[in-house]
Structure formats: C-alpha cells, structure tokens
Amino acid sequence: MATVTTTYTCEVCSADSSVRVGGVSVPDVPVSKKNHVVFMSPANAKREVEAGLANPIGVKSKGVEELAQEALLYAACPKCAARNPRGVAAQKRKVLHSRLSGALLLAICVPGAWYFPTFGLATPILALFFTLLGVYARKALGVPLERAQIFIGIAGPLAFAAFARAYPGHAWLVPFALLGPELIRPQAGRDFEWAAAAKRIAASRPQAPTD
C-alpha cells in the first residue's frame, strides 16, 4: 500500500489541487514460469523476466499514478467541495442499472409467484441477502453503517416472508409490493463510494504543520 501525491483537476471550478491518495496498491501481474502462470509484483516480474527466469504475459500493469487518478473518480474538490462530475455520472449509471435489474427480477417474480407461491417467499429472502451484502460491503470499505436502513432492510423482508408463508394464495403480492420501493429507492444509501474515497483522499498542504 502506498500513498500517492497527485493532482485533482476540478471540472466544476477548474482548480488544480494537490491531493494525497492513500491505500494505493499495484495489483500483481501474471508471468509465465515453467509453463505455469504465476502472479507477482510488477517489480519482481520485471526482475525475473530480465533474468530470463520467466516470460512476460501481455498484461499492462497500472502505475501508482494511474491507480491514484482512478481513485479520484469519487473525490470531492478540496477547493469548492463539489463532487467529481464524472463520479456523479458513474454513480447515476450504477443506480439506474441496479434499479432496472432489480425491478426486472421482481416483475418476473410476480407471475412466477402467482403460479408458484414459493417465488413470493424467495423474493424477500433475496432482499434480505442484498441487505447483508450491503452491510458486508460497508464494513469492508470502513464506511459507517446506517442502523435505521439496516433495520428496514432486515425487518421488511422478514415481514414479507411471513406474509408469503401465511397466505400462499396471495404470495404474488410480495414481489409486486417490492416493485415500488425498488423503483423509488433513495440514493442516500448508495453514498459509500464517496465515503470510502473521502477516507483515502486528503488535500495535501505543502507547508503542513507536523503533528
């Protein structure tokens, strides 16, 4: 893991800011060694290839500078605090994609649950799984958990699952009822890319006092 000092160019206020990006690690690159593919750090790979111990595999490794610039996708400008417009657009695409695929899945489950009530039980269990996945992702990124949201994400599906079990004849109502929240789900819960980036990116001050 390295901390890289690079320049963030704000598309909103046009200011160039010097920023430090922490947690930059260059992924290992594959090389061919005695007919085996081995992954090693780019520096080791270079050394082994030059010594004739391994053959390069045509994969371009990314430099720390390039990786640091990629991390700036979800950066906020140190000067004007505006979020990187490219990150905002990327996040919108992600949200739209997840919403449409979720809604499509639920739309398939409505007639499914009409014929096979098990589908009505499967949808809240799937929703519960996504809640747990979200908790795991936040923990992995070191982003604080939102208790209310987790509570709704767990209690909601459990209530729907109980309904589907109690009234199998009406189980199709479960995916149907989940369709609405899926389409209007607020974006607030999806801020973890920004929160995770904020933890890694700091404005660097040339004359910063030592602490």
Which residues form the interface with Zn ion (CB under 5 A)? 10, 12-13, 77, 79-80, 82
The rounded distance, in Å, linking the Cα atoms of 95 and 103 is 12
The rounded distance, in Å, linking the Cα atoms of 121 and 160 is 8
CB of 8 to Zn ion, least distance (A): 9
The two three-digit tokens of residue 27, written as one number: 């992924």
Between 33 and 79, CB nearer to Zn ion = 79
CB of 85 to Zn ion, least distance (A): 10
Between 41 and 204, CB nearer to Zn ion = 204
CB of 72 to Zn ion, least distance (A): 12
Q: Report the amino acid identity of residue 123.
A: T
The rounded distance, in Å, linking the Cα atoms of 105 and 84 is 32
Between 45 and 197, CB nearer to Zn ion = 197
Between 82 and 154, CB nearer to Zn ion = 82
The rounded distance, in Å, linking the Cα atoms of 109 and 115 is 10
Q: Which ranges of 72-117 would DSSP assign to H, the alpha helix? A: 85-115
CB of 17 to Zn ion, least distance (A): 8
Tell me the three state secondary structure of residue 51: coil
CB of 141 to Zn ion, least distance (A): 24
Between 139 and 205, CB nearer to Zn ion = 205
Query: CA torsion sign, 56 to 57 to 62 to 64?
Result: negative
